[in-house]
Structures are given as C-alpha cells and as structure tokens.
Amino acid sequence: MKKQLLTLLFSACLINAYAEDGSRLWLRADTTAQATVTANRQSPVIAVAVKELQTQWRGAPVQLLIAGTKAAQTLGSDGYTIAGNPQTGVTLTAAAEQGLLYGAYHLLRLQETGALAGNINITEKPGYERRILNHWDNLDRSIERGYAGRSLWEWEKLPDTLSPRYREYARANASIGINGSVLNNVNANPQILSGEYLAKVKAIADVFRPYGIKVYLSVNFASPKTLGGLPDADPLNREVIQWWKNKVKEIYALIPDFGGFLVKANSEGQSGPQDYGRTHADGANMLADALKPYKGIVMWRAFVYSPTSEDRAKQAYQEFVPLDGQFRDNVIIQIKNGPVDFQPREPFSPLFGALQHTQEMIEFQITQEYLGFSNHLVYLAPLFKETLDSDTYAGGQGATVAKITNGALRPAKVTAIAGVANTGDSVNWCGHHFAQANWYAFGRLAWNSELSAEQIAEEWLKMTFTADENFVRPAADLMLASREACVNYMMPLGLHHIFSFNAHYGPQPWGYFPGGRMDWMPVYYHKADSAGVGFDRSKTGSNAVSQYFQPLGDLYGDIDRCPENLLLWFHHAAWTHKMKSGNSLWDELCYRYDSGVRQARDLQKAWDRLERHIDAERFDQVQAKLQIQAKDAVWWKDACLLYFQTFSKMPIPYEIERPVHRLDDLYKVWFRQEDVLNNNYCIK
C-alpha cells in the first residue's frame, strides 16, 4: 500500500516536473525521446535541428539532407521538403541549413498538434525573406510600450554573463520561423553603437546564430555627432559618411552576419536628414552605401508626421511618394499597417502599393499599446490578416498588401515584415498567457500569410495548453471573437485614438490639453460636435481618400458605401445618419459599445467553462486578467457614451445596460502607465 502510494506520488511529481507558469511558451513537448537522426552535413544550425528531433521526435528515423539539386535550390535558404512516413522514416531536404531547422520544427509541430497521419509530403517556403521582431527596449532595460516586465537583454551583465533566456528566446523564434531581431528601441540611444555596447550585442548575436536569428540595430541618425563628436550628422558631409563606414566595418568585424539598421528619422523629435535640408532618401542611401559591401540592409521607417494643419493620416504618403525610385536596392521602407498608429482598427496605409519603385515592408505591433496592454485578451491574427489580405488595387484587383510586400507581385531584392515585440523578463514572457499567441501568430503569418487566424489559434492552443478538442474548439472561438470585442468596447465604427493621453490605456475621448500637440489629442481624431462625430477624410474634408487607388478611394469617400466599420475614420457623420441596420448612428454606437461589454463578459464565461481542462495556475491567471478586461470594457462604454451624449443629446436606448459611472468622476481619473501595470488605477 505504502509502496503504491509512493509510486503514485513519484509519477505525479514527474508529470508536474514543470510548473505551468507559461515560461515554456508553446514549446512544451516531452524531451525524453531518443530518436535516430542523421544529417549529411554538420554545422551549429544543423546541430540544433538534430538535437530538437533527437529529444522530441517519437517516430521512425529522420534523415536531414542538404541537397544541391535544382529542386532544392528553388526552396531558397529557408525552404524545405518533408517526405516519408512517421512509421517507416522521414527525410527532410533543404538547400541550406536554416531550411533544415525550420523543417525540423515543422515536423515537431505536426506531432505536437496531432496532425501526423500516414504519409508526409510537404514543401514549404516562406512568404517573406526577413521575418523580424522589433524590440523597443532601452539600454536601461525599460521597454517603450512594454507590458511584460523589463527588457530581456541584461545589458549590465553582458557580455560576460549570458542569460539562459537568450537561447530560449532564439529557439522560440526559430520554431515559428522568425529570423531577425532588432534589439533596441527605434527611439535609439546613440550609445548602442559604442564599442562597449557592440561587444554586448556581439555576445547576443553569438547565442542567436545557431537558431538562424540575425541581429539588427536601431540607430540614432545623430550618432556621428552625439557619439562621434563630429560637428553635424549631415548625410552629405564626407566626414559623416566616413564615420558610418567605419562604424559599419567595426560592427561586421564583430558580427559577420549582422542584418542591418532600422531607422526612425525626423519623427516625434528624432533627428534625421531633414535637419540638414536633406531628404529621407539622402539619409537612407548614405547608410545603405555603408552597409552594402557586407550585404546589410536599411529599414527606414515611414512613421513620420508633424503637427501641421495637414491630416496626420496623409503625411507619410505625402513625404514618401515624391521620393519613389530614389532609394538604393538595400533600403526598404518600413510602413505601419495603418496610416495613423496601431489602432484597434485602421484601414491599411495607402503607402502600400503607392511606392512602385521602392521596396516596402509592413510593421505590425504585437505589443498591445492600444489594445489594453497585457491586461486584455485580444488575439491579433485577425487584425494582422485584415491588413495583409486588404486589396490595395495597385495596378488592378488582387494586389493585396501581402502580395505587394512579399515579392509575389513585385519582384524585390529584399522582402521583410516586422512586429513590435511584446516580450519582457516576466515569467510568462508576454504578461498575459494569451499574448504569447500574438507573438506566435506574427511568426506564422510572416512565414505564410495565407494561414487562417483559426488554424494558427488551434495550433497554438494545442501546443500551449492541451490538444483536447473539448478545450481547443471553445478556446479558439474565444480567441477569434476577442479582437472584434475589443473594437466594440473601445472604438467601434472607425473611431480611433481616443485613448487616455500618453499611457494609451483607457478612454479619454474628452482629451484636450491646451498648448499640447493637436495631433496627439483625442478630440482631433473624433471631432464630435452637435452635428455628428468622425474625421471627414472625404473630398469635402482632408481628402485622405484620394491617396487610395480606385475603386477604393471612391468607396471610402462615399458615406453611403463606406464600410461601416470604417465610417467614422473617413466621415463626419450626423448623429441621425441612417445605418444599414436601420438605426441612427447614435443608437448604433450605443449598441456597439454595449455589445463590446457583453462580448467581454462572454470571454469570461467561455473561459470559466474550460477550467477542468487545464492547469489551475494558468487558468487562474487568465481568469484574473479577464476580470480586468470586463471592468475596463464597462469603463470604456460609459466614458464614450456619456461623453458623446453631451454632443448628440440623444437618449441611450432603454434596453441597453445603464451607465454605472458618472462622467464627472471619469473626467478625474488620472494615472500613469506604471499604475496600470501595478493594477493600481482607480475608476470610481
């Protein structure tokens, strides 16, 4: 009896050998397999692929082949084929070592998601050549718009001490096909280019290399002046050009496979070529020339705008379209998915497709700056896909943002996609267990933008929690509903940027601070008055619609045909404007906010039903976050409806739940980002 009890206890301990604290992400496979794995070449990257399979693959022997055949060459450096049968033997073939690494992770994913059935015959090649995370991490280890603790990069201990997390991070990225990491904030500290910091960067790059991850750096355009001591940073100044050449040489001596630079110039106070009367092309090309001999690239951001009388949504297009064709072939323009700034819903940026002779890449935000931080469960694959699948009509129908940027329609020397990372040093990496899904989804879509949001959710759930269908089905539904829920309780019908000033958390549609920048004020974006609400970007307004190709420009510009989910993005609509439902705009707004609240509560209900399928630790943590989300949803609804009602003067439809807050109290709510992170913001 005693012996039996001991055995029972012992096996219970084995099962629970790992705490389910989220630290293992989606990589929770049992690592005690002893598979037979052979390879026809040796290299550090291939060694990783072999080891992953040896320890996790529970099928017949696997053979890894680097092949020089024509067929293999068409796979590029990252593609692969998987052929065979788990019972009799499997062969992974690729033209290069990275292909074998990605093939190995693919095979393991099939196993872990229960998708191995009979013969395997798979050929894969990524959509984008460079699949990159952008870290907005500062050298003091704070993270701009980071909601999961401090930076993963322990600058103070580098280069001598290497956190085990560097390898785990690289492994997680490799497992989903991410192959690049920009380590530091685009608001870049020039010190990153000092000898001291480059030695630290090299130490990280060395850890990442066997996982196929290239390191990139954000650079401050003024570095030659601030770090190098030159009188200016004018891109046409010979001394400046030489300074960058020397710096690039120094970097490549340390990191031979360094990826290149990411640059935020002449934006939000950052210096740039315009400080010297030069153009973005002058600045980007100067850096590109320095990087060219080493095959490095420049990712030059299009996120530029200034507080002029011009509509902020139009400015990037106005700035860059005149420069089309002037950029070097190792420059790529990095464009945020929408024309303003990572809002819960935006139309795609009209720059996609408009630059016809310049390489374009897309930037998404994985960290939830405008989506409830790591407090709200908002699965972002539907948002990412909405942009990637949008038809720009550049050169005719079918020119989706994905096809414009991944080289399918416009052959490009460089193709790339970036996501602003949501990682930090918190135990579960992302602050919210479900925020991990957004990191995962970004990687999977960067590899193949045609995957569905549903398929990605299911894969992730199976690997992260359990493959039990009784869990996976409802949990996937919950994830898929979450983005639209968030749009509804925050900013339905095309409303945007009505967040609390600076923190970007919680509602503050009344936000207006005399003397501050108008284009940072919520009132600038919704323009509510007694007649109606919304930003008129039609021909009678800012005419931002003219930046879209036809027939989109006309469609967006026509208040009766504009998709209703973007109505108030493009139009100042009357409170009485008749919606497709037959409701007035005011009533519709009320119903949307109300349904957002109900959807947030539905997320809670759906989650509670799943309790028995998963571990208590993660269940409880997600449950606690969903409570915050549901409360915040009510706060959003009350704040927005009560405030907009001061203009519409119309009643809130009687069947809708009554406000539980008073507007006067909500006006007084004031907090900082830290207060939200410490769950210390109070709404009366």
Residue whose CB is less far from ligand GCW, 142 or 540: 142
**Does 135 engage in binding with ligand GCW (CB under 6 A)?**
no
Separation in Å, CA 283 to CA 218, 244, 286? 14, 11, 5
Is the preceding omega at residue 551 within 30 degrees of 0, hence cis? yes
Binding mask 265-284 for ligand GCW (x = CB under 6 A): ---x----------------
Whether 86 and 59 have beta carbons less than 8 Å apart is answered as: yes
The smaller minimum CB distance to ligand GCW, of residues 141 and 202, is found at 141
CB of 226 to ligand GCW, least distance (A): 18
Supply the minimum distance, in Å, between the C-beta of residue 77 and ligand GCW. 30
- Quick count: other Cβ atoms within 10 Å of Cβ 580? 8
CA–CA gap between residue 571 and residue 590 (Å, rounded): 18
State the binding string over 597-616 for ligand GCW (x if CB under 6 A, else -): --------------------
Binding residue (CB under 6 A) for ligand GCW from 109, 135, 145, 444: 145
Minimum distance, C-beta of residue 130 to ligand GCW, in the bound complex (Å): 19
Binding residue for ligand GCW, selected from 102, 303, 505, 635, defined by CB under 6 A: 303
The yes or no reply on residue 187 touching ligand GCW (CB under 6 A) is yes
| Minimal distance, residue 263 CB to ligand GCW, in Å | 11
Q: Is 127 within 8 Å of 443 (Cβ atoms)? A: no
Cβ within 8 Å of residue 638, ≥6 positions away: 659, 660, 661, 663, 666
Three-state DSSP class for residue 121: strand
Distance (Å, whole) CA 677 – CA 189:
25
Q: Residue 186 or 421: which CB sits closer to ligand GCW?
A: 186
Nearest approach, Cβ of residue 136 and ligand GCW (Å):
5
Q: Which of residues 312-341 bind ligand GCW (CB under 6 A)?
A: 341
Q: How far apart are CA 57 and CA 462, in angstroms?
A: 17
Q: Which is nearer to ligand GCW, 341 or 638 (CB)?
A: 341
Choosing from 268, 469, 608, 615, the catalytic residue is 268
Output 187 or 306, the one with its CB closest to ligand GCW: 187
Name the DSSP class of 281. H
Does 124 participate in binding ligand GCW (rule CB under 6 A)? no
Count the Cβ atoms, other than its own, within 10 Å of residue 543.
15
Count of residues touching ligand GCW (by CB under 6 A): 11
Long-range contacts of 601-607, Cβ-Cβ distance < 8 Å, separation of 24 or more: 601/630, 601/633, 602/481, 602/485, 603/377, 603/478, 603/481, 603/482, 603/485, 603/629, 603/630, 604/629, 604/630, 606/474, 606/475, 606/477, 606/478, 607/478
Judged by CB under 6 A, the chain residues 349 through 378 that form the site for ligand GCW are 369
Q: Say which of 112, 137, 289, 341 is annotated catalytic.
A: 341
Structure tokens given for 392: 């720009």
Interaction between residue 264 and ligand GCW (CB under 6 A): yes
- 536 flagged as catalytic: no
Task: Please name every residue paired with 578 in a beta bridge, in sequence order, or none if there are none.
Answer: 584
In the bound state with ligand GCW, the residue whose beta carbon lies nearer, of 97 and 519, is 519
Per annotation, catalytic residue among 282, 319, 369, 638: 369
Please name which of 321, 273, 276 lies closest in space to residue 298, comparing C-alpha atoms. 273
User: What is the residue type of 208?
Assistant: F
Neighbours of 56 (CB within 10 A): 20
Instruction: Give bridge partners of residue 64 from the DSSP assignment.
Output: 39, 92
Based on CB atoms, which residue is closest to ligand GCW, 336 or 625? 336
x/- track of binding to ligand GCW for residues 448-467 (CB under 6 A):
--------------------
Shortest distance in whole angstroms from residue 66 CB to ligand GCW: 40
Give every strand in the sheet of 89-94, ordered side by side: 37-39, 62-66, 89-94, 80-85, 120-124
Least distance (Å) between residue 504 CB and ligand GCW: 6
Token pair for residue 169?
A: 């991070």
CB of 303 to ligand GCW, least distance (A): 5
On whether the CB atoms of residues 29 and 108 are closer than 8 A, the answer is yes
Is 144 among the residues known to form the active site?
no
* Least gap, CB of 344 to ligand GCW (angstroms): 13
CB of 140 to ligand GCW, least distance (A): 15
Nearest residue (beta carbon) to ligand GCW? 341
Per CB under 6 A, the list member of 102, 136, 434, 635 interacting with ligand GCW is 136
The question of whether 268 is a catalytic residue gets the answer yes
- Burial (CB < 10 A; 0-12, 13-18, 19+), residue 213, is buried
Q: In angstroms, give the least distance from the CB of 422 to ligand GCW.
A: 14
Distances (CA, A) of 534 to 319, 383, 493, 523, 525: 25, 22, 9, 10, 7
Where are the alpha helices (H) located in 465-573, listed in sequence order?
469-490, 522-526, 552-557, 567-570
> DSSP of 59-74, one letter per residue?
SS-EEEEE--SHHHHT
Crossing angle between the packed helical segments 453-464 and 381-388, to the nearest 10 degrees: 150
CA dihedral 289, 295, 298, 299 (to 10 degrees): 160
Choose, by CB under 6 A, the member of 144, 168, 324, 468 that binds ligand GCW: 144
**In the complex with ligand GCW, which residue's Cβ is closer, 145 or 278?**
145
Binding stretches for ligand GCW (CB under 6 A): 136, 144-145, 186-187, 264, 268, 303, 341-342, 369
- Name the residues annotated as catalytic: 268, 341, 369
